[in-house]
Amino acid sequence: MFTKFLSIEEEKRERVINAALKEFAVKGYAAASTNEIAKEAGISKGLVFHYFKSKKDLYFFLYDHTLEVVNGELRETVDLLETDLFVRMQQVIRLEMSVFGKYPSMMDYMKSVYLEQAEEVREDILERIQSLSASEYGKIFSGIDATKFKDGVSTERAINVILWTVEGLGEQYKERSKLTGGALDLDGIIDEFDEYMEMFKTTFYK
C-alpha cells in the first residue's frame, strides 16, 4: 500500500517518519499539519500526499511502523520468559532507549494514540488497541512473578510507579539536553534508572 514511500532512500524516509511522529505526538491528530511535517522533513507537501493518500493514512502508517519497530526491538532485547519484574523492566528501558536513538518521538506518538479522541481516527484506534494484546508488544509485562512481592503490593501498581519514573527521568534528561544544546544522554538515563530499580526492588519485594 505504501510501496512508493518504502522505496525511497532510507535517510529521506526516516526524515519523513520522524517529522510526522513528532507532529502527531505534540499536536494530536486533528491539529497536526501536513505542511509542518513536510517542512520539518525537508520535502514538499505534494510529496507527502504522493506517498500517502491522506493524513489518516500517514497516521496509521506510523502506528503500524511503530509496532513493527518495537516488536523487532522486543524480540532482540526483552526475554518474555523472564518473570522477575525488575530484570524485565531493565530490558524494557533498554528497548525504549534503542528506539529513541532512531525515532525520538516514537514512544510519545504511541502514548498520544491512546489519548486521541478525534472522531476520524478514534474507531480505528480502538480496533487496533483491541488486537494489540495478542501482539508481542501487548505481552511486554505478561507473566511477572507476583509471589516475590510483599503482601499488599499490587503488581500492576508497581509497574505503573516504575513507568512513571521512566517517564519522569526521560523528561528531566530532555530538559537538560535542551538547556545544554547537547544530545540526550541515553546511557545516563539507563544508569540512573538502574539505581531506581534497586531502590524499588527493596521497597516492593519480600
SS3 for 36-90 is HHHHHHCCCHHHHHHHCCCHHHHHHHHHHHHHHHHHHHHHHHCCCCCCCHHHHHH
What is the reported pLDDT for 47? 93
The C-alpha cell 529521506 sits at 12
**Mean pLDDT, 10 residues at a time, the chain of 206 residues:** 90 96 96 96 94 95 93 88 93 88 90 92 90 68 92 91 88 82 82 92 94
What is the reported pLDDT for 80? 87
Number of continuous H segments (helices) and E segments (strands) in the chain: 10, 0
